[in-house]
Amino acid sequence: MQRTIMTVDDSTSMRQMVKATLISAGYGVVEAADGQEALDYARENPVDLVIADVNMPRMDGITLVSELRLLPAYRLIPLLLLTTESSMEKKMEGKKAGATGWLVKPFHPAQLLATLARVL
């Protein structure tokens, strides 16, 4: 059965790069342009994994992770943050919010797919 991954980023080009990488590996992909849009989608639809940027308008990625962890369907789902943020403080904020992992942009497709294989 095909697994569905939600990519959340306010940059269209980033979403396209993530989407192309995921589709090439056989995953289904849904997109959201910010944390609020992702949360609205997640409340109605289950996905198997979420890859979210940190700095986004309306709702940032760390808040999104916190909110998703409050939803029963997302309590155990892997939530990855993919961001240019590389500071230890931000990373610890993400971990405390309930993120499964932290990836620093730019991502390499093979590395992203290997990470997904580890956490799914």
Partner 1 sequence: MSDLANTPVAALLELAASQLEVAAHSTNSQMETLASSIGALVMLGAELQAAQGAGAAPDALARKIVERAQTAVVAMQFHDQLVQRVAHVRDVLTELNEALQGMPAGEVEWATVLARIRFRYSMEDERRLFDRIIGAAACPDVNCHDSTHDSLRGGVEIF
The single residue among 2, 17, 35, 37 that binds partner 1, judged by CB under 8 A, is: 17
Q: Does 2 bind partner 1 (CB under 8 A)?
A: no
Q: Does 62 bind partner 1 (CB under 8 A)?
A: no
Q: Give how far Cα 14 sits from Cα of 9, 57, 83, Å.
A: 7, 15, 10
Nearer residue to partner 1 within complex by CB, 40 or 114: 114
Give the three-state DSSP class for 46: coil
Q: Does 76 bind partner 1 (CB under 8 A)?
A: no
Nearer residue to partner 1 within complex by CB, 38 or 99: 99
Site for partner 1 in 96-115 (CB under 8 A): 99-111, 115
Question: Burial code of 92-107, b = ≥16 C-beta within 10 A, e = fewer?
Answer: ebbeebbbbbbeeeeb
The single residue among 14, 30, 58, 73 that binds partner 1, judged by CB under 8 A, is: 14
Residues 89, 87, 112, 60, Cα dihedral to 10°: 60
Nearer residue to partner 1 within complex by CB, 45 or 111: 111
Query: Which residues in 17-115 belong to E strands, given as ranges?
Result: 28-32, 49-52, 79-83, 101-104
Nearer residue to partner 1 within complex by CB, 43 or 108: 108
The single residue among 3, 58, 69, 90 that binds partner 1, judged by CB under 8 A, is: 90
